[in-house]
């Protein structure tokens, strides 16, 4: 007598089909969970976005908050003026649907690769023709940048247009509040003059009413000659300028030598890029606050 199938009790409502109900129940739960997933779960629909430098990356990250995270191309301590693209950077550019950068005067190493991939990617330059490309150091410029970036993201990703637009409104409100706060912090010292490392602070000075008496280096990649150092020494020895600002991307030893023996001369830090800051949506705000505090602190301790 061969094996027999177990009998199905008569009082079971589904009999041998009893597995059907749990399966349909699990399917129903899956559908409900998917239907009520928060908007962040739709991030897979967002384009891949790459951004050249930290301040610009921070602004883009704020606009994309809750949708996706942009990728930063230039990180580390190297100045964007001297940055050499790594193979990983090239791969990032190749994969990007949208690429935001400042322009040729800032990220020279991106000019050629971006020209090659511009036919397949949306490449957006924030300041293609600016003599001083450090436009983000003026908060009012950032308001315009936010509008431009938002418009580009809305074209590339209309599915998330509402989120980008809402984030842009919040970002602009934060920028406006920041601008008011920073102006107030510099009120008592803005009449004093400073010397900066290189010609990167024209937008900053114009925005906050600062007087830049001179620059230490002719260009970011060119060391000052003897005549220039002598002129800086005379300017500071005369008592008209007391604060010389260095930048973390460049060697500071030569600045220390330049002001050696000058009474009241001080060296402080300014960082237009946010070299040591964590790249996120708050970096821009931290960058501006730290630079304004550096200027306020140095000038407050001088005659």
Q: At what angle do helices 54-63 and 139-156 cross, to 10 degrees?
A: 60
DSSP 89-132: HHHHHHH-SEEEE--TTT-GGGHHHHHHHTTTSEEEES-TT-SS
Half-sphere exposure of 114 (CA within 13 A, CB side): 22
pLDDT for position 224 = 87
pLDDT for position 19 = 47
Tens-digit pLDDT string for the chain (303 aa): 444 444 444 444 445 445 445 444 554 444 444 444 444 434 457 999 999 999 999 999 999 999 999 999 998 778 898 888 899 999 999 999 999 999 999 999 999 999 988 788 999 999 999 989 999 999 999 999 999 999 999 999 999 999 999 999 999 999 999 999 999 999 999 889 999 999 999 999 999 999 999 999 888 778 888 999 999 999 999 988 999 999 988 877 888 888 999 999 999 999 999 998 999 999 999 999 999 999 999 999 887
- Residue ranges per domain, the chain? 45-183, 185-300
Extended strands (E) in 216-282: 241-246, 266-269
Half-sphere exposure of 209 (CA within 13 A, CB side): 13
pLDDT for position 145 = 98
pLDDT for position 26 = 53
pLDDT for position 3 = 47
In terms of CATH architecture, what is 185-300? 3-Layer(aba) Sandwich (3.40)
- Of 3.20.20.70, 3.40.50.300, 3.40.50.1980, 3.30.70.2740, the CATH number of 45-183 is 3.40.50.1980
What is the reported pTM? Answer: 0.84
Whose structure tokens read 């024209």?
202
pLDDT for position 18 = 52
Q: How many helices (H) and strands (E) does the chain have?
A: 10, 8
pLDDT for position 218 = 84
pLDDT for position 44 = 54
Domains 45-183 and 185-300 share a fold: yes
pLDDT for position 176 = 98
Q: At what angle do helices 283-300 and 161-185 cross, to 10 degrees?
A: 10
**Two structure tokens written together for 244:** 């010389």
């Amino acid at each position: 007598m061969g094996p027999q199938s177990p009998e199905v009790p008569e009082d079971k409502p589904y009999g041998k089909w009893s597995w059907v109900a749990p399966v349909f129940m699990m399917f129903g739960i899956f559908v409900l969970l998917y239907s009520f997933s928060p908007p962040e779960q739709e991030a897979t629909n967002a384009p891949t976005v790459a951004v050249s430098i930290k301040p610009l990356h921070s602004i883009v990250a704020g606009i994309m908050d809750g949708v996706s995270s942009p990728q930063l191309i230039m990180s580390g301590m190297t100045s964007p003026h001297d940055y050499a693209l790594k193979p990983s950077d090239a791969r990032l550019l190749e994969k990007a649907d949208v690429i935001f950068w400042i322009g040729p005067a800032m990220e020279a190493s991106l000019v050629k690769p971006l020209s090659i991939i511009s036919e397949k990617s949306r490449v957006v330059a924030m300041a293609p023709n600016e003599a001083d490309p450090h436009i983000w150091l003026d908060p009012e410029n950032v308001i315009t940048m936010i509008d431009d970036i938002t418009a580009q993201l809305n074209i590339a990703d209309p599915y998330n247009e509402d989120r980008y637009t809402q984030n842009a409104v919040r970002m602009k409100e934060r920028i406006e509040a920041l601008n008011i706060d920073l102006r107030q912090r510099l009120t008592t010292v803005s009449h004093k003059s400073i010397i900066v490392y290189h010609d990167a602070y024209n937008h900053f000075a114009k925005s906050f009413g600062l007087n830049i008496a001179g620059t230490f280096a002719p260009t970011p990649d060119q060391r000052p000659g003897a005549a220039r150092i002598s002129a800086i020494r005379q300017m500071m020895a005369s008592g008209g300028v007391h604060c010389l600002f260095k930048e973390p991307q460049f060697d500071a030893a030569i600045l220390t030598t330049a002001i050696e023996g000058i009474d009241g001369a001080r060296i402080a830090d300014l960082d237009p890029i946010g070299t040591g800051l964590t790249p996120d949506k708050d970096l821009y705000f931290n960058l501006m606050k730290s630079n304004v505090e550096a200027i306020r602190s140095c000038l407050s301790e001088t005659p």
